[in-house]
Amino acid sequence: MTAGNLLLEAAAQAGYYALMTRTSGPQIRGGEAAAMLRISTFPTDGQADGFQVLAAIDWQNVARFAAEIPLDSSSLVIADPSQGEPPEVFLRSGAQYARVPFKELAKQHKDAWPNMIALGVLGGLVGLPPDALERVIAKSMKKGVEAGIAAARIGMAQAATLEGYRLAAAPPRTPRWLITGNEAAGYGALRGGVRFVAAYPITPATEMLEWLSPALAKVGGTMVQAEDELASINMVLGASYGGVPALTATSGPGLSLMTEALGLGVAAEIPAVVVDVMRTGPSTGIATKTEQADLNIALYGLHGDAPHIVVAPNSLADCADATEWAVGLAESLQVPAIVLSDQYFGQARGVIDVPARNGSVATRAVARNGEHPYLRYAVTDSGISPMALPGAQGCAYTADGLEHNEKGTPSSQAADHLAQMDKRARKLTQLDPGVRWASVEGEGDIAIVTFGSCTGPAREALARARAGGLDARLVSLRMLSPAQPERLLRALQGVKRVLVLEQNHSGQFLRYLRAEGALAGEVRSLRRPGPLPFRPAEIHGALVEWSRA
């Protein structure tokens, strides 16, 4: 993982775009892990169809993620012969095998490590400038810089003996960030105004918390590590009730624990944001790997009729904007908002263009002193009623999960229930998400409808189709709740065939689109559960095949 990160940083340093996704086994520390790196001359959120080079330090437990590393006859496997022959699964692809004795080479310099040799080999092979590699080693390694640089040089010298995969010239330099999805979401939260975070560690959301903890301190906010997810979401509601925009980050098991309190947020109209970095489920599932299977719980997991916000980032960079947007929606509508990120984005680290700012962030309507009589849950046309914050004189009220009247007094009367249900629903039905509701791209009478991390490969498949003379559209939904069926139908006007793309087993997204009456024409589903990501070739293949049918 260290070598992968350094190669990524060196590529960024040399002016390339790059994306590193990762996969690892269940071990606590060490053990098998793969850094999957794509270096490109254009921004990308997806992996390519396969990998051109596989460098293996060893083959320990590689079967656990061999399926995630597709190779073909043009690929090159670089491995240390002392670690045994490459597994059949890789050789079967027809890939060439180059023997490089990483371990033996590392002995040439005191304290040199085989992974740093491999870094040098890979950097040299693709033609990254040596000084870019050396600079990132000097900058990013906490110790062993001198040995690291020496090892990389040994590796680069070794690369000269190999057939190369030279990178095209780097594109012109533009302002860029090297960021993970979890960092981007954390940053978006702060930009949205979040100054309180409570959370319980969970893979793969933990890195967001680790980024936020010192970052919050710098922007005048605070982080509390809670005893469990029940506590974290209730701490978030408490802080937000006090007037401080608040957020928690978790994954599926944590979201399951939070759903009761999210209902309280709906009833008591307390803004709150939950970033769900999805991993495979159900139950503990595969904690370290990605899936888009929490859509149902995010949309429908709360008991009672509980209108709330669900948004999904559809690129690495969008993890920032989608989270910032969710904070603004939660604050301005006084509702809980769920951000559906996933392990793919969360733990991916890539070079992105510095994201444009989407204007100002919506804020909470606050009741001031002396508004008498104060009706916390006043039935308004917009459904939004100004919220008093503790400290405001003459506005004290009790935030309550019990149904209540306009004043906030608990009520079991049918009329109050209906009036408050209507008011809470109105906040969402009247919401105009503007252009942020989806990414709509392309023309043609065949379309892909998707969301989240399937968007990158879908976009690439579309580009390939277009290059081959097949025009197709992409609609990648960012706002999932409230559903936007009219907007989707408009975006699909003239479309005869719709391919619904998602990464889960049961077709949760397809069922949701059908339930909302948001699909037109003939519909096909392209789906599978995690953790294997969709690759452009298979999406492209499905499009082409269908267009010919």
Name the residues that contact another protein, by CB under 8 A: 12-13, 175-179, 183, 187, 190-191, 195-196, 198, 215-224, 226-228, 230-244, 246, 260-261, 263-264, 268, 351, 354, 388, 390-402, 408-410
**E strands in 181-314:** 196-199, 222-225, 246-250, 272-278, 309-311
Nearest 5°: phi and psi at 525? -110, 130
What whole-number distance in Å separates Cα of residue 107 and Cα of residue 102?
Answer: 9
Q: How far is the CB of 356 from another protein (least distance, A)?
A: 13
Q: Which of 390, 496, 376, 392 has the alpha carbon at shortest distance from 443?
A: 496
Decide whether 112 or 361 has the Cβ nearer to another protein. Answer: 361
Closest to another protein by CB, 178 vs 537, is: 178
Q: Quote the least distance from Cβ 141 to another protein, whole Å.
A: 17
Q: Are 330 and 309 in contact (CB under 8 A)?
A: yes
- Whether the Cβ atoms of residue 473 and residue 444 lie closer than 8 Å to each other: yes
> Is 346 strand, coil or helix?
helix
Which CB sits closer to another protein, 204 or 355? 355
Least spacing, CB of residue 303 vs another protein, in Å: 11
Q: With respect to another protein, which residue has the nearer C-beta, 170 or 421?
A: 170
Rounded least distance, CB 194 to another protein, Å = 9
- Selection from 309, 307, 306, 277 nearest residue 294 by Cα: 277
Cα separation of 24 and 237, whole Å?
34
Question: Helix or strand or coil: residue 369?
Answer: coil
Q: Are 454 and 534 in contact (CB under 8 A)?
A: yes
> Closer to another protein at the Cβ: 143 or 173?
173
User: Residue 58 or residue 260: which is nearer to another protein going by CB?
Assistant: 260
Q: 119 or 392: whose CB is closer to another protein?
A: 392
Q: Is 341 left (phi over 0), alpha (psi -120 to 50) or beta?
A: beta
What is the Cα–Cα distance from 521 to 528, expressed in whole angstroms? 22
What is the smallest separation between the CB atom of 505 and another protein, expressed in angstroms? 32
The smaller minimum CB distance to another protein, of residues 33 and 224, is found at 224
Partner residues linked to 523 by β-bridges: 498
Task: Please state the closest distance from residue 196 (CB atom) to another protein, in A.
Answer: 5
CB 263 within 8 A of CB 303: yes
